[in-house]
Amino acid sequence: MARAPRLVAAALLVGGLVTSTAGSALATRGPAQGGGTVDPNAHPGRLKAQITFLKRPAHPWNSRITWVAKRQRADGSWRVLARDSWRAGSGLPGRSTTNPCVKDHGWLPNGRYAVRQYDDYAGNLIHGRVFRLSDKRCANGTLREQLFIHTEAGPGNSQCADRPGDQICRWEFPRINDYTSHGCIKMAPSDLLALTRAYHRFFSPGVRYPTAKVSLLVRQR
Residues 60, 155, single domain; the answer is yes
The predicted pLDDT at position 15 comes to 39
Residues 182, 213, single domain; the answer is yes
Residues 118, 61, single domain; the answer is yes
d(CA 216, CA 207): 14
The predicted pLDDT at position 22 comes to 36
Does 42 map to a domain? no
Residues 26, 56, single domain; the answer is no
The predicted pLDDT at position 97 comes to 97
d(CA 78, CA 55): 26
Total tally of structural domains belonging to the chain: 2
Digitized pLDDT (tens) for each residue of the chain, 221 residues in all: 444 444 333 333 333 333 333 333 334 343 334 456 999 999 999 999 999 999 999 999 999 999 999 999 999 999 999 999 999 999 999 999 999 999 999 999 999 999 999 999 999 999 999 999 999 999 999 999 999 999 999 999 999 999 999 999 999 999 999 999 999 999 999 999 999 999 999 999 999 999 999 999 999 98
Residues 138, 56, single domain; the answer is yes
Does 41 map to a domain? no
Q: How far is CA 170 from CA 17, 86, 105, 185, 193, in A?
A: 70, 19, 21, 16, 15
Q: Is 100 exposed, middle or buried (0-12, 13-18, 19+ CB in 10 A)?
A: buried
Residues 17, 112, single domain; the answer is no
Residues 75, 172, single domain; the answer is yes
- State the residue range of the domain holding 182: 47-220
The predicted pLDDT at position 109 comes to 97
Pairing of strands 136-137, 127-133: unpaired
Non-local (6+) Cβ contacts of 35 within 8 A are 29
The predicted pLDDT at position 221 comes to 86
Q: Is 26 exposed, middle or buried (0-12, 13-18, 19+ CB in 10 A)?
A: middle
Residues 103, 29, single domain; the answer is no
d(CA 17, CA 219): 51
d(CA 87, CA 98): 17
- Asked whether the beta carbons of 121 and 165 are under 8 A apart, the reply is no
For the chain, how long is the longest CA-to-CA vector? 97
Does 17 map to a domain? yes
Non-local (6+) Cβ contacts of 177 within 8 A are 61, 89
Residues 199, 142, single domain; the answer is yes
d(CA 118, CA 168): 18
d(CA 128, CA 149): 11
